[in-house]
Amino acid sequence: MNKSTKKFAMILLIAFITAVLAACGSDSANDNEADAGADEEGLKIAIITSPSGVDDGNFNEDNYNGILQFIENHPDATVKAVREESGDPAAAVQAVADIVADYDVIITPGFQFAGVSSIAVENPDKMFILNDSEPAPVDGQTDFDNIYAMNFAEQESGFFAGIAAALETKTNKVAVVNGIAYPSNVNYQFGFESGVNYANKVYGKDVELVELSGYAGTDVTGEDVGGNYAGSFADEPTGKVIGNALIKEGADIIFVAAGGTGNGVFTAVKEAKDDVKVIGVDVDQYDEGANGSENIVLTSGVKFMAMNIERALNSIVDGTFEGGNVVLHADTDSTGYIKEEGRHQLSDDTLSKLDEAYELVKDGTVVPASNFNEHSPEDFPGL
């Protein structure tokens, strides 16, 4: 069975679980935030997250910030944030089923929400915005008029992080730490590895990727993808263990794509006696890198989610909303790295090389490896 077939089978399984849950029903969602906005006549928005909520300082919060930015310009709109505690795909979809009747728009950040497509079919008057997921097929249907499913080319942001790490390392050893081997997380890993290999070949570097025995990831198709996976996005102690082990192995720059687990890596780096840096993920994490008078964040490999959430909500209001499955790339300024003054510690030479690489990714000359694009981090277009 090839990768595409196995991925399709995984989506079908999620769809089956969703159908069973929709028939049974349960109360699995827990309110996480108060309503934002005031006028009941405005757009009623709900965001369902699991398990870290909209105040996680990272992925979920950036999605939520896009809603808040929309409400700033549409003060009659309201938002309700709901946290589903388990993170289980079936429970996550049930959490949506429990509240769908009360809202106009449902926003679901995370791969575990693929099965909401069955709910969308049953509620054609509701709009759904998915992030990091494609909707599971329903009776063979894969595109839905009321679902805008946006994925980001995380491999591009990871690629820039890998180049930055390879150009800035002093020990010539770097690493990436991930949470769970969902497609988006594997994309970050493969992109980072692609960036390191690119810098080795194009800029004459000789940088090693450090992987720890026992922490290899297994993606949704069952394939071993290597890397350093904690197995959770909410396991800070394991993140610290992995961080300390990588530092002991000589890694002095660590790309952290692990949600709340990554906080443990940050702690390990802050406590390290050696000069070690991290590269943040999803959003600008420079503030989280503060360590006394110093800062441990080199830069952050980001995807501009808040901007795209706001764009999608604006399209609902102005009547241009279109359902569909899209992947957002550098050509829409949706992926990249933090280079604003005071928010990074990259050298001018590294910034210049990153800017050059960005243009090559933007025009398609360079295509970093990702979980399902059939390229490997050692062999991809533009290397």
Distance, in Å, from the CA atom of 376 to the CA atom of 371, rounded to the nearest integer, reads 9
Give the domain-ending residue among 152, 170, 196: 152
The predicted-structure confidence for 117-174, as pLDDT tens digits, reads as follows: 999 999 999 999 999 889 999 999 999 999 999 999 999 999 999 999 999 999 999 9
Indicate which CATH number applies to the domain containing 255.
3.40.50.2300
Q: Cβ contacts of residue 245 below 8 Å, gap of 6+?
A: 212
Residue among 291, 282, 218 nearest 256 (CA): 282
Note whether residue 382 is domain-resident.
no
12, 46: one domain: yes
Note whether residue 330 is domain-resident.
no
Query: How many domains in the chain?
Result: 2
Note whether residue 329 is domain-resident.
no
Give the domain-ending residue among 152, 185, 206: 152
Angle value at C-alpha 45, between 43 and 48, nearest 5 degrees:
175
Q: Which domain holds residue 115?
A: 3-152
159, 83: one domain: no
Report pLDDT for 239.
98
356, 286: one domain: yes
Note whether residue 323 is domain-resident.
no
CB atoms near residue 320 (< 10 Å): 8
Calculate what percentage of the chain has a pLDDT beyond 70: 89
Report pLDDT for 37.
45
pLDDT band at 12 (very low <50, low <70, confident <90, very high): very low
Report pLDDT for 19.
41
Note whether residue 163 is domain-resident.
yes
Distance, in Å, from the CA atom of 324 to the CA atom of 304, rounded to the nearest integer, reads 19
Distance, in Å, from the CA atom of 325 to the CA atom of 130, rounded to the nearest integer, reads 9
64, 108: one domain: yes
299, 249: one domain: yes
236, 139: one domain: no
Note whether residue 148 is domain-resident.
yes
341, 236: one domain: yes
25, 77: one domain: yes
Note whether residue 327 is domain-resident.
no
95, 193: one domain: no
Residue 287 has pLDDT above 50, yes or no: yes
Note whether residue 207 is domain-resident.
yes
Distance, in Å, from the CA atom of 14 to the CA atom of 91, rounded to the nearest integer, reads 11
Report pLDDT for 21.
38
Share the mean pLDDT of the chain. Answer: 90
Residue 33 has pLDDT above 80, yes or no: no
181, 105: one domain: no
Give the domain-ending residue among 128, 152, 176: 152
222, 358: one domain: yes
The predicted-structure confidence for 51-66, as pLDDT tens digits, reads as follows: 888 988 788 999 999 9
Report pLDDT for 234.
84
158, 227: one domain: yes
Residue 106 has pLDDT above 80, yes or no: yes
